[in-house]
Structure 1
Amino acid sequence: MTTTATPIPPGYLEDAKGHLIPEAKVKPQDRLRDELTRGVVARAKQLQGDMKAFRAETLGDIQAFIDLSAEKYGAKLGGLKGNTTLLSFDGRYKVQVQISEHLTFGVELQAAKALIDECLTEWTQGSPDEIKAIINQAFAVDKEGRLNTGAILGLRRLDIPDPRWREAMEAIADSLQVVGSKKLLRVYERQEDGSYAPIPLDLAAL
């Protein structure tokens, strides 16, 4: 069920509490601030819409080029997991499409944590405090109750020969699930030193 905002009658402004205030009662400075804020937001929304359209059109054009190349020339442009890099003829510009996967863990992670806890309990006297801190931090959750995927996967780089630890690492691998993916579009320009610098499309990076 959708609701529509009640129209504000002419000659009034709505304050932050939802009260209607006669324009004549609103200070000129407050009115100027309101007009400036709304103007900036309106332009930002228009820019956001243009960027969304640019992203959709660009990804569509790139996919069409990939399909055409595969059909006409038998060329496979997509790399690992569908990542794609396109270069201008002179190599000055580079466009990349990367697939970012959203990962989560299944119930097997609980078994992995139990095995790791067994190891920590037994290693209490001989295990370096640094390893304990790394493990405890890896399984800590943030304010939203989410686990740090990178930190947990990083545990697999620890070379610990204990069979329970290796079994726990296998359980972590088995618990890993891909629940979604997103295409990331990045555009680069070659610099004088030969490196590629991104062309920022984020206002904060300008």
Structure 2
Amino acid sequence: MDVAIFEERPEEGITIMNGNKFMLNAKGGLDPIGNVKEQYQLEDQTVRKCIAYAREASARITRLKTNTFADLGALDALLAEKFGAKIGGKKGNRTYQSYDGRMKVTVQVSDQIVFGPELQVAKSLIDECLNEWSAGSRPEIQAIVTRAFNTDKEGQVNRSDVFMLLRLEIDDKRWNNAMEAIRSAIRVTGSKEYVRFYERASINDDWQAITIDLAKA
């Protein structure tokens, strides 16, 4: 009984069986490469080439982030130990700059926030206000309220618009109670650090961000 000899080349999307080449289809079966239209083969090759570049870039960005935080962390520890100095403010935002003032690295700490059940109390109070004001309320206030409590794809309220409500000065006890409920609803669940890189030709020029975001490249 003959034994089939397999050789898989996943990077090429090819399986060789007894010397014959096959391509794995979307249903999990193997199609003889000669039966696959040339346009599909070309598309397959192009996608695999792009994905290979993307994987390489992703790995490099991961290494960049890991090495950057490790280097900056080592600098922070050295300064703290040797000079008793600490870079950054209370929230942990930090800026590191080259001696010639032409390069800098910034680390920004952003709080991760969710809202507790008090937010629903706030919404009820705000709805009472809007229903009573109806004709007299400014349309922009209604628009902000509508956006604030419309949930996104993850089911979360629009945080920036909720915070915008807190900036509105309205002389109504129910409204002010609603704003207090919003403040009570805020829960800080953690924080995340973002690192950004900048450079400039001279100290008289504006800072230019070093682009890492694919959408902005």
Q: Would the alpha carbon gap of residues 127 and 65 (structure 1) be closer, same or farther in structure 2, given more than 3 Å must change? A: same
Matched-pair contact (CA < 8 Å) for 2:15–2:24: no
In the other structure, the counterpart of 2:152 is 142
Task: Determine helix, strand or coil for the equivalent of 1:146.
Answer: coil
Correspondence 1:174 to 2:151: no
The answer (yes or no) to whether the contact 1:95–1:187 under 8 Å persists in 2 is yes
- Shift in Å at residue 62 of structure 1? 0.3
- Report if aligned partners of 1:97, 1:185 keep a CA contact under 8 Å in 2: yes
Tell me if structure 2 keeps the 8 A contact 1:103–1:179.
yes
Any idea what SS the aligned residue of 1:82 has?
coil
Which of the residues 63, 70, 75 maps onto 2:80? Answer: 70
In structure 2, the partner of 1:133 is: 143
Per the alignment, residue 205 of structure 1 pairs with 216
In the TM superposition, residue 191 of structure 1 has moved relative to its aligned partner by 4.8
- From 28, 34, 47, the equivalent of 2:57 is 47
**Which residue, 5, 25, 33 being the options, matches 2:43?**
33
Give the corresponding residue for 1:196.
Answer: 207
What is the letter of the counterpart of residue 211 of structure 2?
Answer: P
Tell me the residue number matched to 1:104: 114
In 1: Cα distance, 2:24 partner to 2:98 partner: 52
Structure 2: distance between partners of 1:29 and 1:126:
63
Q: RMSD of the TM alignment (CA)?
A: 1.9
> How many residues are paired up?
200
Aligned-partner SS, 2:134: coil
Give the TM-score normalised by structure 1.
0.88
The alignment-based identity, stated in percent, is: 46
**1:16 CA drift (Å):** 2.5
Contact 2:122/2:182, CA 8 A, preserved across alignment = yes
Where 1:13 maps in the other structure, the secondary structure is strand
Given that 1:191 and 1:197 are in contact with CA atoms closer than 8 Å, whether structure 2 keeps it comes out as no
Between 30-39 and 161-170, the greater mean CA deviation after superposition: 30-39
Q: Give the whole-Å Cα distance in 2 for the aligned partners of 1:127 and 1:30.
A: 59
Amino acid in the other structure paired with 2:149: F
AA matched with 1:86: Y
TM-score scaled by structure 2?
Answer: 0.84
